[in-house]
Amino acid sequence: ENRGFWLAPPWRGQRLMQEAADAVTDFWFNELKFPVLRAPKAVANTASRRISEKQGMRLVATEERNFVCGRMPAEIWEITAEEWNESRKKGRNVLG
C-alpha cells in the first residue's frame, strides 16, 4: 500500500500517469532505497492495471477494499527494487 494516484478525467489518456508512476517508483527504489513497492487498485480500474503491467509488477493478492466510491474487489500488485531496475534496463518504463 505504498502508491496511489488520482487523475482528473480531462487529463487521462495522455500517458501522464505512466510517467508519474515511473518517476515515483524510481524515486521509491533509487532514492529512498525501499526494497519492495506494493500498489493496491480496484479490479475495475484497467488503466491502473496496465500501468502496473508495463512497470513489470506482478499480482500478489486480491481482496475487498474500501475506495472513495465504496467497497469493491481490489488487486495488490508488487515489484522489488531488483525487478524494477532490471525492467528499466529492458526499456519497460518511461524512465528506462
- The sheet with strand 58-67 has its strands ordered as 36-42, 70-80, 58-67
- Tell me the average pLDDT across 14-37: 94
What pLDDT, in 10s, does the model give residues 57-85?
Answer: 999 999 999 988 899 999 999 999 999 99
Arch. (CATH architecture) of 14-89: 3-Layer(aba) Sandwich (3.40)
Q: Which are the contacts of 54, defined by CB distance < 8 A and separation ≥ 6?
A: 18, 92, 93
Q: How far is CA 50 from the centre of its chain?
A: 9
Q: What is the pLDDT of residue 95?
A: 54
- The pLDDT of residue 15 is 87
Is the Cα dihedral 16, 18, 19, 21 positive or negative? Answer: positive
Do 24 and 3 meet the contact criterion of CB atoms below 8 Å apart? yes
Question: What is the pLDDT, as a whole number, of residue 75?
Answer: 96
Mean model confidence pLDDT for the chain: 89
The pLDDT, as a whole number, for residue 96 is 46
